[in-house]
Structure 1
Amino acid sequence: MERIVVCGLSNRALGMFIKPVIEKFAHTNKIVGFLDIDETRVELCKARFPELVDVPFYSPIQFSQMVKETEATTVIVTSRDDTHVEYIIQGLEHDLNVISEKPMVTTSEDATRVMKAEEASKGKVIVAFNYRYNPFHRKIKEMILEGKIGRVTSIDLNWYIDTYHGASYFKRWNRKREFSGGLSVHKSTHHFDLVNWWIDQLPEEVFAYGALNYYGKEGELNPSPVDNRYCGTCPEKRACDYYTRWSNRTDSVSVRDDHIKAESKETYRNYRPDACIFDHEIEIEDTYVATVKYNRGALLSYSINFSLPYEGYRLAINGTKGRIETQEFHELSRVPFPVPEQTIDYFPLFGSKEVIHVVQTEGGHGGGDPIIQEDLFLGPDPFRSYEILAGSKAGAIQSQLVKQFGNRVNKISRLR
Structure 2
Amino acid sequence: MKRYAVCGVSNRAIGMFIQPMLNTFTASSELVGLLDYDSKRFRLTKEKLPQIEHVREYKESEFELMVQETKPDVIIVTGRDDTHVDYIIKALEHDLDVITEKPMATTAADCKRIMDAEEKSKGEVTVTFNYRYSPFHTKIKEMILEGRVGRVTSVDLNWYIDTYHGSSYFQRWNRKREFSGGLSIHKSSHHFDLINWWLDQTPKEAFAFGALNYYGQDSVHNPKKEDGRVCATCNLQLQCPYYARWNSRSNSMKVKDDHIQSDKSRKDQYTNYRPDQCIFDSEIEIEDTYTATVRYDQGALLSYSINFSLPYEGYRLAINGTEGRIETKEIHAPSRVPFPFEEQSIDYFPLFGSKETIHVVQREGGHGGGDPVIQEDLFMGPDPTRSYEILSGSRDGSYAVATGEAIWRSVKEKKSVHIDELLKQTSTHV
Give, as a single letter, the amino acid of the residue that structure 2 aligns with 1:334. R
Give, as a single letter, the amino acid of the residue that structure 2 aligns with 1:59. K
Instruction: Give, in whole Å, the separation in 1 of the partners of 2:140 and 2:172.
Output: 34
**Aligned pair count?**
413
1:386 is paired with a residue whose SS is: coil
2:328 is paired with a residue whose SS is: strand
Instruction: Give, in whole Å, the separation in 2 of the partners of 1:72 and 1:26.
Output: 16
CA displacement, residues 157-194 of structure 1 (integer Å, 9 cap, x when unaligned): 00000000000000000001100010000000000000
User: Is residue 34–residue 42 contact of structure 1 (8 Å, CA) maintained in 2?
Assistant: yes
2:178 is paired with a residue whose SS is: helix
Give, as a single letter, the amino acid of the residue that structure 2 aligns with 1:372. I
Match of 1:265 among 267, 274, 285: 267
CA displacement, residues 308-361 of structure 1 (integer Å, 9 cap, x when unaligned): 000000000000000000000111101100000100000000111000000000
Match for residue 35 of structure 2?
A: 35
1:263 to partner: Cα distance: 2.2
Match for residue 111 of structure 2?
A: 111
Match for residue 342 of structure 1?
A: 344
Instruction: Give, in whole Å, the separation in 2 of the partners of 1:21 and 1:388.
Output: 21
User: Is residue 184–residue 405 contact of structure 2 (8 Å, CA) maintained in 1?
Assistant: no
Match for residue 197 of structure 2?
A: 197
Q: Does 1:377 align with 2:369?
A: no
Instruction: Give, in whole Å, the separation in 1 of the partners of 2:265 and 2:332.
Output: 25
Match for residue 305 of structure 2?
A: 303
Give the 5 Å matches for 1:50-199: 50-199=50-199
Match for residue 363 of structure 1?
A: 365
Match for residue 276 of structure 2?
A: 274
Q: Structure 1 residues 41 and 254, CA, compared in 2 at 3 Å: closer, same or farther?
A: farther
Instruction: Give, in whole Å, the separation in 1 of the partners of 2:251 and 2:24.
Output: 37
Instruction: Give, in whole Å, the separation in 1 of the partners of 2:402 and 2:265.
Output: 38
Give, as a single letter, the amino acid of the residue that structure 2 aligns with 1:249. R
Instruction: Give, in whole Å, the separation in 1 of the partners of 2:349 and 2:337.
Output: 28
Match for residue 426 of structure 2?
A: none
Instruction: Give, in whole Å, the separation in 1 of the partners of 2:29 and 2:7.
Output: 16
Match for residue 314 of structure 1?
A: 316
Give, as a single letter, the amino acid of the residue that structure 2 aligns with 1:369. D
1:300 is paired with a residue whose SS is: strand
Instruction: Give, in whole Å, the separation in 2 of the partners of 1:344 and 1:77.
Output: 34
1:60 to partner: Cα distance: 1.0
Q: Does 1:288 align with 2:290?
A: yes
Match for residue 48 of structure 2?
A: 48
CA displacement, residues 361-391 of structure 1 (integer Å, 9 cap, x when unaligned): 0000010000000000001001100000000
Give, as a single letter, the amino acid of the residue that structure 1 aligns with 2:278. C
Match for residue 386 of structure 1?
A: 388
Instruction: Give, in whole Å, the separation in 1 of the partners of 2:166 and 2:105.
Output: 22
1:21 is paired with a residue whose SS is: helix
Match for residue 26 of structure 2?
A: 26
Instruction: Give, in whole Å, the separation in 2 of the partners of 1:266 and 1:403.
Output: 33
Match for residue 214 of structure 2?
A: 214
2:219 is paired with a residue whose SS is: coil
1:265 to partner: Cα distance: 1.6
User: Is residue 203–residue 294 contact of structure 2 (8 Å, CA) maintained in 1?
Assistant: yes
- TM-score, structure 2 normalization: 0.94
1:248 is paired with a residue whose SS is: coil
- TM-score, structure 1 normalization: 0.97
User: Is residue 10–residue 259 contact of structure 1 (8 Å, CA) maintained in 2?
Assistant: no
Give, as a single letter, the amino acid of the residue that structure 2 aligns with 1:45. T
User: Is residue 291–residue 304 contact of structure 2 (8 Å, CA) maintained in 1?
Assistant: yes
Match for residue 8 of structure 2?
A: 8
Instruction: Give, in whole Å, the separation in 1 of the partners of 2:39 and 2:414.
Output: 41
CA displacement, residues 217-276 of structure 1 (integer Å, 9 cap, x when unaligned): 100011111111101110000111000111111123479894452222201100000000
1:412 to partner: Cα distance: 4.8
Deviates more, 1:52-61 or 1:261-270: 261-270
User: Is residue 210–residue 412 contact of structure 1 (8 Å, CA) maintained in 2?
Assistant: no
Match for residue 422 of structure 2?
A: none
Give me the identity figure in percent. 63
Instruction: Give, in whole Å, the separation in 1 of the partners of 2:265 and 2:406.
Output: 39
User: Is residue 210–residue 289 contact of structure 2 (8 Å, CA) maintained in 1?
Assistant: yes
1:66 to partner: Cα distance: 0.1
Instruction: Give, in whole Å, the separation in 1 of the partners of 2:166 and 2:265.
Output: 20
2:88 is paired with a residue whose SS is: helix
Match for residue 327 of structure 1?
A: 329
CA displacement, residues 20-52 of structure 1 (integer Å, 9 cap, x when unaligned): 010000111000000001000011111111110
User: Is residue 10–residue 260 contact of structure 1 (8 Å, CA) maintained in 2?
Assistant: no
User: Is residue 125–residue 394 contact of structure 2 (8 Å, CA) maintained in 1?
Assistant: yes
Structure 2: gaps spanning 5 or more residues = 416-430
1:337 is paired with a residue whose SS is: coil
CA displacement, residues 250-304 of structure 1 (integer Å, 9 cap, x when unaligned): 1234798944522222011000000000000101110001000000000000000
Instruction: Give, in whole Å, the separation in 2 of the partners of 1:93 and 1:329.
Output: 43
Structure 1: gaps spanning 5 or more residues = none
CA displacement, residues 65-116 of structure 1 (integer Å, 9 cap, x when unaligned): 1011001110000000001000000010111110000000010110110001
